[in-house]
């Protein structure tokens, strides 16, 4: 349980940093990662863990897992679209997609909420087994 908790905690922080990375790419017109790598939700640390072989099948079948996996996939697609616009010089379009009412912030919030909910369920599970 603690590895799961640690992975979720780390992922919340790492995915939160993407807003800064994307803003930097918009400002600089370049990025430290290729668009196709960003698009693939299996490439980040959380994605490697989420889609890796170490998770118990019961966890993979859980509703929390499915929600996080879907929001995580969508997050990477939207982030890669913004990154593509930014490095193509389409600064205005990329900036527009970063606004609060746009898809990036919506899916980012959904992913964070899903991870927080999953994490909270772990705490409840741990306390109910004591």
Query: Measured between alpha carbons, how far is 42 from 51 in angstroms, rounded to an integer?
Result: 7
Phi–psi pair at 34, nearest 5 degrees: -75, 150
Please compute, for residue 74, the number of CA atoms within 13 A of its CA located in the half-sphere on the CB side: 17
pLDDT in tens, 75-84: 999 999 999 9
Q: What is the model's pLDDT at position 26?
A: 96
Please state, for a pLDDT cut of 90, what percent of the chain lies above it. 68
Spell out the residues 6+ positions from residue 44 whose beta carbon is closer than 8 angstroms to its own: 14, 15, 76
Q: Hey, what domains does the chain have and what are their CATH numbers?
A: 2-128 (1.20.120.30)
Query: Measured between alpha carbons, how far is 61 from 42 in angstroms, rounded to an integer?
Result: 18
pLDDT in tens, 28-44: 999 999 999 999 999 99
């Amino acid at each position: 349980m603690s590895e799961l908790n640690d992975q979720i905690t780390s992922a919340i922080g790492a995915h939160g940093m993407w807003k800064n990375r994307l803003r930097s790419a918009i400002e600089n017109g370049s990025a430290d990662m290729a668009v196709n790598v960003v698009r693939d939700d299996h490439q980040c640390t959380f994605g490697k863990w989420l889609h890796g072989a170490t998770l118990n099948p019961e966890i993979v079948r859980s509703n929390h897992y499915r929600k996080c996996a879907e929001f995580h996939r969508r997050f990477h697609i939207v982030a890669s679209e913004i990154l593509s616009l930014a490095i193509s010089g389409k600064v205005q379009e990329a900036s527009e997609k970063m606004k609060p009412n746009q898809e990036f912030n919506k899916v980012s919030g959904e992913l964070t909420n899903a991870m927080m909910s999953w994490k909270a369920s772990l705490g409840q599970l741990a306390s109910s087994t004591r």
